[in-house]
Amino acid sequence: MNETMNTDVILTAALTGAGDTVGKSEHVPVTPEEIAASAVEAAEAGASAVHIHVRDPETGAPSRDNALYREVVERIKETGIDVVINLTAGMGGDLVIGQDDPTRPDEGTDLVNGLERLPHVEELLPDICTLDCGSVNFGDGSSVYISTPDMLRAGAKRIQELGVRPELEIFDTGQLWFAKQMHAEGLIDDPSMFQLCTGIPYGAPADPGVLQSMVRLLPAGAQWASFAIGRMEMPWVAQSILLGGHARVGLEDNLYLSRGVKGTNGQLVEKAVTIIEALGARVATPDEARKKLNLRSA
């Protein structure tokens, strides 16, 4: 008797993220051209979907520039590769608490309102965009990721109007609670889609017990995935599908293929595919993912 394992796994490649990783691995894609190429590499390695941030082509710093998103998406589409497009809408939530006066943000702050995090979504109408469901300390200093209920309800409503499907990024159990609240209010269509993000200091740890307790609280019929960052990225592919979820890997979450060996997005996807198949499951095709998630492109 095992009733929980997922055998048709939507595998997402999180290509570049917003982390300070560009100097740490030459494989982290920076320019739209590189990001699109990495998307193709990931899709060819078997990813069902790609989760996309953009970066300043000069500095590698995370960016919210529409033109960059547009170029990435166009470049991917031009290749004709078949892959589900998932654009982050999580940028614009960074608040660095002032050292002198905590009410006056320090440098590094990039904080805008809910709707202001969505212009690229409005323009590009991707299959999926993310929605980060709460505020939480980010890292070990004075950074807080800010996403308030007011911002989230405004964002969810607009995403719903656009016919884009929101992937609810959950960084801890309280964020899951609020996401369910939005779902109960009709702001999130069925099937709801959850990404249970673990191992990011200081959100939910990559702990099987915490994950299990969150999975048990998901709305009926929800589609969900979970990932962990760093060295728990690959083990978490197994843990997530064992508990019935989909999976995510990629350079946003982890740079290493194995101890000391840096990898590309394609290589990380390949490794995830190996695990998924060794466990007797398979990766869903993009079309299967579209159907499961009820995407506009389905």
Q: Which does 143 bind (CB under 5 to 8 A by kind): Zn ion, its own copies, none?
A: its own copies
Rounded least distance, CB 62 to Zn ion, Å: 10
State the minimum distance, in angstroms, from the CB of residue 158 to its own copies. 16
At closest approach, how far in Å is the CB of 238 from its own copies? 4
- In this complex, which beta carbon is closest to its own copies, that of residue 174 or of residue 191? 174
Total residues binding Zn ion (CB under 5 A): 1
Question: For 257-282, what is the HEC assignment?
Answer: EECCEECCHHHHHHHHHHHHHHCCCE
| Residue 88 partner contact from Zn ion, its own copies, none using kind-dependent CB cut-offs of 5 to 8 Å | Zn ion
Question: Minimal distance in Å, beta carbon 15 to Zn ion?
Answer: 9
From the list Zn ion, its own copies, none, partner contacted by residue 212 (C-beta under 5 to 8 A by kind):
its own copies
Alpha-carbon distance of 120 to 99, in angstroms, equals 33
Pick between residue 76 and residue 206 the one whose CB is nearest to its own copies. 206
SS (H, E, C) the chain: CCCCCCCEECEEEECCCCCCCCCCCCCCCCCHHHHHHHHHHHHHHCCCEEEECEECCCCCCEECCHHHHHHHHHHHHHHCCCCEEEECCCCCEEEECCCCCCCCCCCCCEECCCHHHCHHHHHHCCCEEEEECCCEECCCCCEEECCCHHHHHHHHHHHHHHCCEEEEEECCHHHHHHHHHHHHCCCCCCCCEEEEEECCCCCCCCCHHHHHHHHCCCCCCCEEEEEECHHHHHHHHHHHHHCCCEEEECCCCCCEEECCEECCHHHHHHHHHHHHHHCCCEECCHHHHHHHHCCCCC
Q: Which residues pair with 229 in a beta bridge?
A: none
State in angstroms the smallest separation of the CB of 120 from Zn ion. Answer: 13
CB-closest chain residue to Zn ion: 88
Residues 137-196 that bind Zn ion (CB under 5 A): none
| Identity of the residue, 85 or 197, whose beta carbon is nearer to its own copies in the bound complex | 197
| Shortest Cβ 107–its own copies spacing (Å) | 12
Binding segment for Zn ion among 41-49, 84-92, 200-208, 239-247 (CB under 5 A)?
84-92
Q: Which is nearer to its own copies, 229 or 293 (CB)?
A: 229
Nearest to Zn ion of 198, 281 (CB atom): 198
Q: Give the footprint of Zn ion on residues 211-250 (CB under 5 A).
A: none
Partner whose footprint covers residue 60, from Zn ion, its own copies, none (CB < 5 to 8 Å by kind)? none
Task: Rank residues 88 and 135 by Cβ distance to Zn ion and give the closer one.
Answer: 88
* Residue of 16, 48, 88, 135 interacting with Zn ion (CB under 5 A): 88
Considering beta carbons, is residue 88 or 175 the nearer one to its own copies?
175
Q: Shortest Cβ distance from residue 273 to its own copies (Å)?
A: 10
Tell me which of its own copies, Zn ion, none is bound by residue 102, counting a contact when its beta carbon lies within the kind-specific cut-off of 5 to 8 angstroms: its own copies
* Helix orientation angle between 32-45 and 66-79, rounded to the nearest 10 degrees: 40
Spatial CB neighbours of 57, under 8 Å, sequence gap ≥ 6: 30, 31, 32, 68
- Which positions lie near Zn ion, rule CB under 5 A? 88
